[in-house]
Structure 1
Amino acid sequence: MKTDIDVRATPGRGGRRAGLHYAWIVAGVSFVAILGAAGFRAVPSVMMTPLHGEFGWSHATIGAAMSVNMVLFGVTAPFAAALMDRFGVRPILTGALVLIATGTGVGVFMTASWQMVLLWGVLVGLGTGSISMGFVATVSTRWFVARRGLVTGVLTAASATGQLIFLPVVAEATDRLGWRWASLIVTAAALAVIPFVLLFIRDRPGDIGVTAYGGDPGAPAEPLPNGSFGAAASGLFRGARVPAFWLLAGSFAICGMTTNGLIGTHFIPAAHDHGMPTTLAASLLATVGIFDVAGTIFSGWLTDRVDARLLLVVYYLGRGASLLVLPALLSPQAGPSTWVFIVFYGLDWVATVPPTIAICRAWFGASTPVVFGWVFAAHQLGAAVAAFGAGYVRDANGSYDIAFFVASGLCVVAALLCAGIRMPKPIAETT
């Protein structure tokens, strides 16, 4: 069946067509694809207690599946752009959505923990990893010259928006219908995006006879700096020779531990341990998704005006203090102090990204996207450690308190790592 539609048009200024540049259609469909992929991020914390109740799987076992997912999500990210450069954006994006749908859909039949590791860990991890930072870089770099930063920020925020949309829905479906129906909602969301990808996504503006948005009609296409496996590997080798890379990777690993790994995976079961209804806890976690968009935008504004290292030190120390008091804030109801924690943690959730990228840019210049890809991989490795480790602590002690206290101490370590970063003198872009 023919899935292409005729989108060719005589290019006007900047490749506009009928008042709307096709790049915005690609960006819109990309946003929806990231939303569909983000649906699974709402699943683990909501379903941990039901899975434990039905199968008797420990929190550590469920956390192990999430650890595999997070590792593959992070490790896949540096190579995602290379796969899209080699095979095209549409087939990779479609295949990724199919993997997510398969992992969550077939997962309703699982009866053993190894099946959860295979389906939720491996399949969904590979799928979500293919629709992450590499995909965002590919779309924003190929299709936009003007507004590239805006598009990058919006597409990056799509994951948080997906959390906001899916968490209450998944929590309500789990509470009323059971975890299997909730899992099928994510399956349906991933499958629903595929027709739009097949119809509207194109690899490059030249494929439909237009130029990138804001680009000159006669200008050659700008190559992606991470468009090959060799470039991805060389980016790692280049970063490994610079001490700042290891300090950033170490601090960003702790960032992953204290966000996706600990709070993202275990906040809902931790709140449930204190008598809070799952739907209320899910709503609180979804609220984090609202404020992390505002926090990231404000952090980007600050990064242009304040030393990035100082910002990171403040962010990590503030996060550590909030984790230290969290066990005392959890209760059956969400009191004012709990809401203060949620708002602050939302503002701080990905506020670390702009200053971390700024430091990478100062050291690595045009190679920043691929080097940051490896720093992001460290983030996901840290998240994987926390996803399993916090579950193990819960099984061993009957509560998450020790996990929160350890995470608080690690935030202090992250602040010290960032304080130890030295900037290049003079700060100059390298090529």
Structure 2
Amino acid sequence: MNKNNRLYFGWYIVVAASVIVLLTTGMRMGIGPFVNPIMDDLGLSRTEFSLIVSAGMIVYGLGMLLAGILLKFYNTRFVLLVGLAIVCISIVWTVNSKGMLSFLLSYGVFLSIGLSFLSSISLSPIISKWFVRQRGKALFYLTTGGMAGIAVMTPVETWLIDLIGWQNTLLLFGGIFILLVLPSAIFIMREDVPDEADGMGHASGEISREEPAITFKNALMTKAYWQIVFGLFACGFGMNLLGSHGMPMLMDHHFPPMTASFGVGMIGVVAIIGTLFLAQLADRFPRKNLLFIIYFVRGLGFFALVLSANAYQLFLISFIGGLVWAGSVAMSTAILSDLYGVRLLGMLNGFAYFVGHQIGAAIGSFMGGWGFEVFGTHFISFGAAGVLAILASFASITLPKSLSFSKHGDVSSVSFRNTRGF
């Protein structure tokens, strides 16, 4: 709180952004309850439906990149309102779809673009502007919204579909998006950040808000940026492999379906607690050290998960894995803003998420099925996820603590100062 004992306005932005991300992630990742009803109504095969979901995953990443570009020329309010309009139009189109092509365009393409405009990629830059000392904590809270979306929205969607059908469920969520996103965009997403505040009501001190003289092209030429992209690739590969093939893998390893479901579900539930815990550490220790721990423990977890032999081992592994499941995106975003500033954060984050996370997600989802069909074992795909995560941990720990740029945007030096907040 500030000296007037009033809550710092940036926290209102964090709360609103977290709720928006909860809805967006839940809509994007909570497709499971919609699968059978939509296939039955539209006459789609599982392969056709899977292709539409995969296409939506790629379009979602492209939409994030587009959102980042728009943020460079417009503000957060504009991007959110455009995204809201696309989501509402796409939902109405989706519920009136009559075949594969119509559903592909409405749900797979346009709804994915609209949801990407309402994702953390659009909201993390404004949070990074409002926070310096507590930037890591604020971004972790944003991530908590995403984890809550995965944990909460799936059972809610299941209940609503049974009660009112999948079309009315989508329309209901469209109305909820309007009620929450519209006032948040108009009244809360303010860009006029006070110079002296950092979320604690104190001067920012040695942590400067001055933006480095860097262009998007020159940022792409730095090694540090691609280290972060590689980490996000490992993140997307592993998360979507587990989401798509975690339960089938455990059931193939003779776990009962309910046990497998609880084992995978526990990761998402514990991840909510994990993000709240890691949020308290995000600004007290070097961010790259935390990112190293997150990826390293996650990598070991993939090996342990595919080798688990009984329910006790499964639940213990899921609990430990859940503690570090959601921190990589928040820390990567915080490091990007620390190294390159917030002016280009939307573009840099969007491009990194598409090239890294979403491409990794598509490959991981494919490799989970292909690896088992070709080699007869899940160890190939889950072992690859473990190796990638461990490699990402070493890519993270070798990140520089800061970069210096010339007035032309070229990297002039790499500093290893013990800068507080990074």
User: What TM-score range do you get, normalising by the shorter chain?
Assistant: 0.7 to 0.9
Among 297, 304, 309, the alignment partner of 2:279 is 297
Q: 1:182-221 maps to which residues of 2 (within 5 A)?
A: 182-205=169-192, 214=201
CA–CA distance in 2 between the matches of 1:152 and 1:287?
Answer: 19
Query: What is the match of residue 263 of structure 1?
Result: 242
In the alignment, is residue 346 of structure 1 matched against residue 322 of structure 2?
yes
Query: What is the match of residue 269 of structure 2?
Result: 287
Alpha-carbon offset, residue 162 of structure 1:
2.1
Alpha-carbon offset, residue 284 of structure 1:
4.5
Number of matched pairs = 395
- 156-165 or 70-79: which moved more? 70-79
Query: What is the match of residue 376 of structure 1?
Result: 353
Instruction: From the superposition, tell whether residues 318 and 299 of structure 1 become closer, same or farther in structure 2 (CA, over 3 Å).
Output: farther
Q: Residue deviations 1:298-349, cap 9 Å, x none?
A: 77479639856853662243232144136x66xxxxx544433432332232
Question: What code does the residue aligned with 1:345 have?
Answer: G
Q: Residue deviations 1:389-413, cap 9 Å, x none?
A: 546779x79xx98557413333224
Among 131, 143, 155, the alignment partner of 2:142 is 155
- 143-152 or 265-274: which moved more? 265-274
CA–CA distance in 1 between the matches of 2:128 and 2:231?
Answer: 27
What is the SS of the residue equivalent to 1:429? strand
Query: What is the match of residue 10 of structure 1?
Result: none
What is the SS of the residue equivalent to 1:83? helix
CA–CA distance in 1 between the matches of 2:175 and 2:122?
Answer: 22
CA–CA distance in 2 between the matches of 1:224 and 1:249?
Answer: 22
TM-score with structure 1 length normalisation? 0.71
Question: What code does the residue aligned with 1:204 have?
Answer: E
Query: What is the match of residue 230 of structure 2?
Result: 250
Q: Residue deviations 1:163-222, cap 9 Å, x none?
A: 23212211223355543344334323322213423541344227x9998864779xxx95
Query: What is the match of residue 88 of structure 2?
Result: 101
Kindly indicate whether the alpha-carbon contact (under 8 Å) linking 1:69 and 1:120 is maintained by their aligned counterparts in 2: yes
In the alignment, is residue 320 of structure 1 matched against residue 322 of structure 2?
no
CA–CA distance in 2 between the matches of 1:166 and 1:199?
Answer: 25
Query: What is the match of residue 293 of structure 2?
Result: 311
Please, which runs of 5 or more residues in structure 2 have no aligned partner? Answer: 406-422
Instruction: From the superposition, tell whether residues 101 and 81 of structure 1 become closer, same or farther in structure 2 (CA, over 3 Å).
Output: same
Please, which runs of 5 or more residues in structure 1 have no aligned partner? Answer: 1-12, 330-334
Question: What code does the residue aligned with 1:41 have?
Answer: R
CA–CA distance in 1 between the matches of 2:322 and 2:383?
Answer: 16
Q: Residue deviations 1:207-247, cap 9 Å, x none?
A: x9998864779xxx957779xxx9444433x23xx2x5545
CA–CA distance in 2 between the matches of 1:348 and 1:65?
Answer: 30
CA–CA distance in 2 between the matches of 1:424 and 1:272?
Answer: 39
Kindly indicate whether the alpha-carbon contact (under 8 Å) linking 1:294 and 1:347 is maintained by their aligned counterparts in 2: no
Alpha-carbon offset, residue 154 of structure 1:
1.5
TM-score with structure 2 length normalisation? 0.73
Percent identity at matched positions? 19
Instruction: From the superposition, tell whether residues 301 and 148 of structure 1 become closer, same or farther in structure 2 (CA, over 3 Å).
Output: closer
In the alignment, is residue 46 of structure 1 matched against residue 33 of structure 2?
yes
Question: What code does the residue aligned with 1:346 have?
Answer: G
Q: Residue deviations 1:32-84, cap 9 Å, x none?
A: 32233223134223333444555564444333333333323333334534423
CA–CA distance in 2 between the matches of 1:32 and 1:359?
Answer: 23
